[in-house]
Amino acid sequence: MFLLSVLLTGCGTDRFEPNGWGGITIDNNKLFIGSGDGQLIILDPKNGALLQSYPQNKENLHAIYSAPLISNNGKTIFYGTYSKKDGGTIYSLQSDTLTPNWTKAIPGSIVAQPIMADNLLLVSSSDGKLYAMEPETGNQKWVFESDGKLWSSAAWSEGNSVFIGSLNKKFYAINKNNGTKLWEFESEGAIVGTPLINGSTVYFGALNKKIYALDSKTGIEKWSRLGDHWYWAPLTQDKNALYAGSMGGMVSALNLDTGIALWEQKIDGAILAPLLLLDSLIAIASDNGQVTVLRKDSGNQTWNFPAGKSMRAKMANQENKIYLITTEGEIKSLDANRGTSLWSLQRDN
């Protein structure tokens, strides 16, 4: 009975293993998909036909949790991988041939998408470091060290400041030129989602159920708002409102200056995937397999599509089509106006 209990201990816990959930980027009329199983694939958005994949050999690949980054000139793809045992690896490939430019191993696993900040490639890592690299070579220019895991992407929007939140509840502003800390803000919750910059304000959500708005120059809190559950998904905004989705399934449109709710709508399932803004609509993929589209002005539901499987990855849209990937590797294209399936592709995840 001792042995049985020890053997049973691990049963059912494989769903907490790092399997990755990937993400989608559209560029140059191609779908670039970081698949959870560690492969980068390129599909034709019209019909889901596989155009290219990397690497060809699927053995010993590590999980991917984010969408690949296509660099400003569209010629280079960057993505990072996650491995508990081996740490993270950042890949740079040529976007037309998928030929590797360089790869770089770093001690901490990579969860978030790398970003470009004025010819600097910024990679956040589970070892608590934000690496700034030359995109052409992968050579390190500087590194910023926090005391908690960095699972969110950094954010940059002109200027010399880069912003990032960490799992140790701290939010940092960092000098883009040399990696020194400009200021830090202690929130009361772990930060997983990518910050959002809008003028002189930087916004982020945290796992203590709060959304924060800080002055981007000083780090002083402008407002904060308590929601119903964890804010994992990054916030998004247009000129009218700040949009947030919580793990309690609450979608909120907030006044950018005050944080007061313009509307709130509860959907079915936790929200981890970034919200997708369409023209007058907002699409939300939830953890219980539902894609829900709401009107941006009112929050009223337009349509709902049962994708069937959990979704945590970044979606993409082009020409009124929504592209998504489930945690089990199924890739779908939906009509953004009608909510009907256009095509579907199942990968082995």
Give the C-alpha distances (Å, rounded to integers) separating 42 from 25, 38, 49, 120, 346.
10, 13, 9, 25, 14
Which residues between 70 and 129 bind other proteins (CB under 8 A)? 82, 84, 111
Three-state SS at 242: strand
Out of 133, 154, 190, 325, the only residue in the binding site for other proteins (CB under 8 A) is 190
Which residues between 193 and 252 bind other proteins (CB under 8 A)? 207-209, 228-230, 232, 247-248
Least CB distance to other proteins at residue 199 (A): 30
293 is an interface residue for other proteins by CB under 8 A = no
CA dihedral 166, 80, 12, 192 (to 10 degrees): 20
Least CB distance to other proteins at residue 14 (A): 10
End-to-end CA distance of the chain: 35
Beta carbon nearer to other proteins, 148 or 219: 148
Out of 151, 185, 204, 212, the only residue in the binding site for other proteins (CB under 8 A) is 151
271 is an interface residue for other proteins by CB under 8 A = no
Q: How far apart are CA 162 and CA 172, in angstroms?
A: 8
One-character DSSP codes across 143-179: EEE-SS---S--EE-SSSEEEEE-TTSEEEEEETTT-
Least CB distance to other proteins at residue 5 (A): 4
Whether residue 114 is preceded by a cis peptide bond, meaning omega within 30 degrees of 0, is no
Least CB distance to other proteins at residue 33 (A): 18
Contact set with other proteins (CB under 8 A): 1-6, 8-10, 12-13, 15-19, 21, 65, 82, 84, 111, 148-149, 151, 167-168, 188-190, 192, 207-209, 228-230, 232, 247-248, 270, 272, 287, 312
